[in-house]
């Protein structure tokens, strides 16, 4: 697939790793359905620097609403148009502990991080074809415990298992499903925690990841060069979390 252009849905497309993934596919000439709760605005100058910028189709929808996602995708893609890749990146990570969690926070974290993956995948499924790929975003917190991330870690562990289950379910159709588990990444949300410098000092490679480095892995997992890989979640942590 990587030698050709195609169509990809990217959730969380307005910022961070979602925006970088959007730009990575646009640079390669793809059509990107950029889905977020606010309108995404990729850097058109950057994505067109090599003269092969693809087509960006912004979609404003909430991944918690399956019907709204399906309607929004159908509104921007022609009837019968195929979807070659899905990048489920949208997520939230408010800190929680046994003392601070509440029902509303539980529902928000799991509805966006877990139900959202299922909703977008289900909305895309009628357009997915043999050779299509799905990449779900988990986190290193799915595999190791982080203080103050009671619900977030649990939600990302659920994404890892959903990735395996979907891989098994969709394999007969020739659709691959894999995951990415990033560690610390230089996104606006992570920067706002004020903990990135300390985090970088604890990482064996001595730095946090750039969003573009994570986006490159979405591209890799979406392509034919890893056509025999499905059901796996790749940890990208600079050596901070090994398994």
Pick from 161, 90, 175: which is nearest to 128 by CA? 175
Laid out side by side, the sheet with 128-137 consists of 55-60, 31-36, 7-11, 83-88, 128-137, 176-182, 233-236
Q: What whole-number distance in Å separates Cα of residue 67 and Cα of residue 173?
A: 23
Q: What whole-number distance in Å separates Cα of residue 209 and Cα of residue 3?
A: 26
Q: Which residue in the list 137, 152, 184, 219 is annotated as catalytic?
A: 152
Pick from 88, 94, 153: which is nearest to 115 by CA? 88
Other C-beta atoms within 10 Å of 177: how many?
28
**Active site includes 101?**
no
Q: What whole-number distance in Å separates Cα of residue 209 and Cα of residue 226?
A: 22
Q: Which residues are catalytic?
A: 152
């Amino acid at each position: 697939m990587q030698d050709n252009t195609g169509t990809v849905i990217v959730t969380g497309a307005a910022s961070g790793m979602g925006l970088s993934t959007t730009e990575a596919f646009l640079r390669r000439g793809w059509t990107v359905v950029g889905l977020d709760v606010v309108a995404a605005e990729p850097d058109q100058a950057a994505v067109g620097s090599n003269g092969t910028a693809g087509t960006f189709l912004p979609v404003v929808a909430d991944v918690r609403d399956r019907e709204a996602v399906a309607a929004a995708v159908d509104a921007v893609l022609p009837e019968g148009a195929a979807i070659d890749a899905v990048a489920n990146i949208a997520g939230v990570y408010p800190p929680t502990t046994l003392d601070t969690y509440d029902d509303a926070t539980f529902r928000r974290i799991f509805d966006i991080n877990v139900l959202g993956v299922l909703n977008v995948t289900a909305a895309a499924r009628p357009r997915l074809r043999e050779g299509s790929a799905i990449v779900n975003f988990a986190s290193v917190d799915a595999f190791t415990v982080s203080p103050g991330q009671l619900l977030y870690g649990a939600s990302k562990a659920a994404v890892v298992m959903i990735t395996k289950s979907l891989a098994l379910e969709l394999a007969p159709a020739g659709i691959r499903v894999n995951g990415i588990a990033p560690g610390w990444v230089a996104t606006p949300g992570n920067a706002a925690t004020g903990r990135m410098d300390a985090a970088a000092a604890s990482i064996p490679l001595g730095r946090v990841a750039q969003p573009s480095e994570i986006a490159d892995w979405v591209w890799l997992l979406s392509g034919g060069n890893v056509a025999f890989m499905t059901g796996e979640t790749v940890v990208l942590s600079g050596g901070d979390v090994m398994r």
